[in-house]
Structure 1
């Protein structure tokens, strides 16, 4: 089992102090819309890896490349604006701390801000993640343990207003990947309980503002 601290959308003051060192975790997963220096602090204080996807209120992190520690964008050396030392899993499949994590950041498009996608655009990105996961599975027989997103699936913990509508394509992605858990942010509880939901065999968890979870890693698909 991998002990995970999952965070999203709302700062937990206790976590932005030395008290966070009392958390015995193996990995931090961040589902978007948190200050990058907050995430960097968590990774540094806990001395554990941190994997994140950007939310719709985060900076645009597209187009950055890292080769031997040098960040570039459009071929020009730049300063990485994301959290120091963290792994951006957006539109990727990564293996960290014994878990295979597929990631898709952003929300449904509702204005011209960054990290917003139409349903069609996100479906295209989801197909890429699905192909990457299939290639990994063919290579080593392992499936995806965690689907990490900013937004929830459509009609599975989302809200009826336009900015907080979930993605229909996530339902198909969950069906294809069949991860143990899907972790998302974006939907603020506002004092209302947000119970876990089920999509097939996948548990869908709203992690705003924080959740501690034990996740089984290394699922064998052969």
Structure 2
């Protein structure tokens, strides 16, 4: 059993201001789905004895000048940690000029470029994104629209998990967990623990 801490979009005061080591001692992997301060990710990886893998959110433009220390960006990569195959595709649907925003076609091309690696690893266990999949926990506006190619991807490759952020869970607007075919889709907003 692997215990994963997923985080996204909003720094948790519970973790950052009132850190209790015993509550995180069994965490094996930390995964960030984007839009968090670089300092927060550096804090997590220094306080919890586990590697931290992250993708960029649409607001993570300061990472270039100030990347999170001790963390690994997995955008456009597949990493294997303790036998778990993890693939990263950060960014949101393009709604304005700027970094970490993609058209449907651009995101599909990013997936296409990873096909040789997907073949070598015989698929993946976890897909980490910032944006949600289209019509599965996404928003109505262009900024929060999900990607159709993510739906196609999980239909074809059947990862156990799709972890995403971008859609805030404030005010009970959205649910955290969806299921699509054989994949459990989890919105990592704030923080959440997963047993894999």
- Give the TM-score band, short-chain normalised: over 0.9
Figure out how many residues of one structure are paired with residues of the other and give that number. 193
Partner of 1:101: 86
CA RMSD of aligned residues (A): 1.6
Partner of 1:148: 128
Instruction: Say whether 1:173 aligns with 2:158.
Output: no
Q: TM-score, normalised by structure 1?
A: 0.82
Counterpart-to-counterpart distance in 2, 1:60 and 1:53: 13
Using a 3 Å threshold, how does the CA distance of structure 1 residues 122 and 60 change in structure 2: closer, same or farther?
Answer: farther
Query: Does the Cα contact within 8 Å between 1:32 and 1:105 map onto a contact in 2?
Result: yes
Partner of 1:47: 49
Larger radius of gyration: 1
Counterpart-to-counterpart distance in 1, 2:116 and 2:183: 19
- What runs of 5+ residues in structure 2 fail to find an aligned partner? none
Partner of 2:58: 56
- Residue by residue over 1:141-199, the C-alpha shift from the partner in whole angstroms, topping out at 9 and shown as x without a partner, is xx411110000100000000110000001011112221111000000012215141122
Deviates more, 1:107-116 or 1:127-136: 127-136
Partner of 1:124: 109
Pairing of 1:1-222 with structure 2 (within 5 A): 1-17=1-17, 19-22=19-22, 23=24, 24-59=26-61, 81-137=66-122, 143-192=123-172, 193-215=174-196
Q: TM-score, normalised by structure 2?
A: 0.92
Partner of 1:66: none
